[in-house]
Structure 1
Amino acid sequence: MSHIPPLDPNVAARKGFRESEERLKRFWKAVDVAEGEGGWAVTLDGRTPKTPAHAPLRLPTEAAARLAAGEWAAQGEFIDPATMPATRLASTAIDRVSQVREAVAEEIAAFAGSDLLCYLADHPTSLAVEQAREWTPWRDWAAIELGVVLEPAEGIRHRAQDPAAIARVRDLALRLDDFALTGLAMAAPLLGSAVLALALQRGLLSGEAAFDLSRLDEAFQERQWGVDAEAAERTAARRAEAVLLDRWFRALS
C-alpha cells in the first residue's frame, strides 16, 4: 500500500484536505513568503497557514514557497484544493513522508524492479525500434551516472532485475530531502519508471519530455487508432502532473 496520497486533483482533494476544508471560504487578502527558522513560510496576511496535520506550511527554498504561495493567491471566494498541487506536495512532505522515509524509498525502488524502460515491445517492429532508440540512452545514463544497471527484455513477461540496482535506487532516494523525495515518489508511478523519475528530479528531462517517453506505446496506439475525448482528458491531466513535478523539482534546486 502506498504511503503517500495520489497527486490526482480529484483524489487529493478528498484525501489531502479535510472534508470541512473543501468549501472553506477565503479568509485572507495578502499572500507572501517569509524566511524563518527551518525555511521559507507561506504567509496569509502575515500568518502561516497549517498543513492538514496542523504543521506550519514551511518549505526549504524561497522558490518553492512562492510556488505554493501563488496557489493561495489564485484562490477565489472558496478554497479549491484541486488547484493547489504544490501545496499538497508540501503538506505531504511535512505530514507524511517525513515520518515514513524508508518505506517511501522502498516504493520508489520497486519501480526499478519493473521499470517501464526495460520492457520493449516484441511487436510491432516499428514500436520496438522507437522504444529502443528513445529508451536505451536513459538506461545507459542510469548505469553510467547513477550506478543503476537494468537489463531490458522483450514482451510483457517480468524480468527480475539485479537486487543491487534496486538497492541503489533506494539509496539515491534516501539522499533526498523530504520535499524532493515526495516529488520523486509521485513521479515514479506517474511515469512507470524510477529512471525517468530520477532524470526528471535531476533536471535532465523536462516534465513534458519525461511524460512523452513514458507513453511511447500509448502514443503509437493513438497514431494507429485515434484517441477519444475521455482518453485525451486523462492524458492531459497526467501531463499536467508531470509539468507540475518539473516545476516542483526546479523550485527546490
Structure 2
Amino acid sequence: MSEWKAKRFWKEATVEEAEGGFTVRLDARPVKTPAKRALILPTRAMAEAVAAEWNAQEEEIRPHLMPATKTTNAAIDKVATQHAEVAEMLAAYGDSDLLCYRADHPEGLVARQAEQWDPMLDWGAEALGARLEPRTGVIHAPQDPEALRILSERTHALSPFELAAFHDLVSLSGSLILGFAAAEQVKPLDALWDISRLDEIWQAEQWGKDDEAEQMAEIKKESFLHAGRMFTLCCAQD
C-alpha cells in the first residue's frame, strides 16, 4: 500500500500584513503551524521566503525542500513556548566554547588555531563585552562568570525567531562566539563555518579526506548557512 502524500491544493501563496507582523496565505487560506498556531512572522522578507517555498511546491508537498517554513514553525511551536530553556541551553556553550580548547601539538595546528580563533575571541571581547580565554587540552576549565553572564543575557534577549536560527548557528559550529559572529555578519557565513571546522580541515590535509565525513559536513554546512540567512531575515527592514 503506497504512502499517502499531501497534494498541492492552492494556486498561489501570497504575503499579507497581519496583526503582529506578516502572514502567508494559500489563496484565501492562512498558513498555520503544525500545532495549528497562526503563522505570524516578524518581517516581510521572512514571510516572502516562506511564501516562495510554498509557491515552489509542485504536485506533491515536499517538506524537506521547505527549510524556511520549518524554521518558522519551530520558532512558533517550540522556541516561543520554551524560550528560557532554549536560551539557557545555548548560553551554556560559552563555558565550553570550541574556540577556547586548543591543541598542544603539532606546531602547525597550534599556530593555525591561534591565527583563526584568537581574532574571534578578541572580537567577542570587544563587540560583545565578554572575554573568553583559551585553554590547552580538552579538560574543562570554567570561564569568567561575568563574561558568561553577559553572553547569557544577550542570548536570552533574542526573539523566538532569532533564537530558532541562533540554535543551529551555535549547535552546528560548537561555538557561542561564532554564533554571535554569524548573527552580526562579522565574516561571510562560509568563512565562519570553515573556522568552526579548522580541526577537521587540518586532519583532512594531513591524512586525506573521508568521503562519508565530507558528505555529512556538507549537510551541516548547508544547515548553518540557512540558519544565518534566517537570522538575517528576522532583522530585515521592511
Structure 1 residue aligned with 2:217? 235
CA distance in 2, matches of 1:206, 1:93: 24
Is residue 78 of structure 1 aligned with residue 79 of structure 2? no
- Aligned residue among 124, 140, 151 for 2:133: 151
Aligned residue identity for 1:119 = Y
Structure 2 residue aligned with 1:225? 207
Change (3 A) 1:22 1:229: farther
Aligned residue identity for 1:38 = G
Aligned residue identity for 2:147 = A
Task: Indicate the larger mover: 184-193 or 67-76.
Answer: 67-76
Structure 2 residue aligned with 1:39? 21
Question: What CA deviation, in whole Å up to 9, does each residue of 1:15-39 have, x standing for no partner?
Answer: xxxxxx9831122120121111111
SS at match of 1:100: helix
- Aligned residue among 118, 126, 131 for 2:113: 131
- Aligned residue among 169, 173, 181 for 1:187: 169
Following TM superposition, by how much is the alpha carbon of 1:244 offset from its aligned partner in structure 2, in angstroms?
A: 0.6
Following TM superposition, by how much is the alpha carbon of 1:77 offset from its aligned partner in structure 2, in angstroms?
A: 1.9
Structure 1 residue aligned with 2:156? 174
Aligned residue identity for 2:45 = A
Structure 1 residue aligned with 2:196? 214
Aligned residue identity for 1:90 = T
8 Å Cα contact 2:169-2:228 kept in structure 1: no
How many residues were matched structurally?
Answer: 233
8 Å Cα contact 2:168-2:224 kept in structure 1: no
SS at match of 2:150: helix
SS at match of 1:82: helix
CA distance in 2, matches of 1:183, 1:96: 12
CA distance in 1, matches of 2:20, 2:117: 40
Structure 2 residues without counterparts, runs of 5 or longer? none
Question: What CA deviation, in whole Å up to 9, does each residue of 1:87-120 have, x standing for no partner?
Answer: 1111111111111111111111110010000011
SS at match of 1:54: coil
Following TM superposition, by how much is the alpha carbon of 1:206 offset from its aligned partner in structure 2, in angstroms?
A: 2.6
- Aligned residue among 186, 208, 231 for 1:204: 186
**Mapping of residues 97-108 of structure 1, within 5 Å:** 97-108=79-90
Following TM superposition, by how much is the alpha carbon of 1:128 offset from its aligned partner in structure 2, in angstroms?
A: 1.1
Aligned residue identity for 2:119 = P
SS at match of 1:204: coil
Following TM superposition, by how much is the alpha carbon of 1:59 offset from its aligned partner in structure 2, in angstroms?
A: 0.8
Aligned residue identity for 1:226 = G
Following TM superposition, by how much is the alpha carbon of 1:133 offset from its aligned partner in structure 2, in angstroms?
A: 0.6
Question: What CA deviation, in whole Å up to 9, does each residue of 1:54-99 have, x standing for no partner?
Answer: 0122210011111111211122222222111111111111111111
User: RMSD in angstroms over aligned alpha carbons?
Assistant: 1.5
Provide the TM-score with structure 1 as the length reference. Answer: 0.88
Change (3 A) 1:77 1:229: farther
